[in-house]
Chains A and B, each alone.
Chain A
Amino acid sequence: GAVVSQHPSWVICKSGTSVKIECRSLDFQATTMFWYRQFPKQSLMLMATSNEGSKATYEQGVEKDKFLINHASLTLSTLTVTSAHPEDSSFYICSARDLIRDTKNKGYTFGSGTRLTVV
């Protein structure tokens, strides 16, 4: 089955530094990747949609200069949290879409998430 690897699984950083999170599709090509943020006991909130080779599309209220997304290849997307602050502490999850298997709009495979703590 489709596998998405997300790394790191957890990271602690100092306020003001930047953190990069990687999302890789291991056995399929992901033309589209999605980045979500999840607060404790809350749902996944879509932050941005990333298409290979083009600029990401950000959801309303998400700062594109703070959350830099790069989708340079069909198997890798990265999310960089720039100048992180404690309020950026959250669980970040990526999802990759396999358009070959996704014949009925259900081919979303999720990474295992990254817990970011900014101190």
Chain B
Amino acid sequence: QKEVEQDPGPLSVPEGAIVSLNCTYSNSAFQYFMWYRQYSRKGPELLMYTYSSGNKEDGRFTAQVDKSSKYISLFIRDSQPSDSATYLCAMNSNTGKLIFGQGTTLQVKP
């Protein structure tokens, strides 16, 4: 079993839709949870960061962490074509190593 599981998609939605992306994990030591966005042939860029359980909102993006269920989510409201990218969840404990999910490819159609 992988430490972090993420549905690779692809996910295709119309412009303006609400997008829900999810990851599950098995390591209860994970405390830091991140979502990265990666455009084709580019390095990942940090989108959202959450420490421990809870919600965090930044503009159209909301990140949720449920440590009891070992489940994290990223919601994108009013999705735009420019949101089309691969979204990777990542997490770590205090080891310093980021463990990534497989990434979900999202396409937002105008």
Contact = CB atoms under 8 A, between A and B. Distances in A.
Contacts of A43: 6, 88, 100-103
B18 interface: no
Contacts of B21: none
Contact of A46 (B46, B88, B94, B98): B98
B84 interface: no
Q: Is the interface of A mostly helix, strand, loop or mixed?
A: strand
Contacts of A110: 36, 43-45
Given A42-B103, A105-B94, A106-B34, 8 more contacts: A34-B98, A43-B88, A43-B103, A46-B97, A95-B98, A105-B96, A108-B46, A110-B36
Contact of A41 (B8, B96, B100): B8
Interface string B43-75: 111100101000000000000000000000000
Given A43-B88, A106-B32, A112 B96 contact: no
B92 A105 contact: yes
A29 to B, nearest CB: 16
Nearest to A9: B41
Interface of A: 4, 6, 32, 34, 41-44, 46, 49, 91, 93, 95, 97, 104-106, 108-113, 115
A46 B42 CA distance: 17
Contacts of B102: 42-43
B24 interface: no
Contacts of A106: 32, 34, 46, 49
B22 interface: no
Contacts of A44: 44, 88, 98, 100
Most buried by B among A49, A93, A108, A112: A108
Contact of B96 (A4, A32, A42): A32
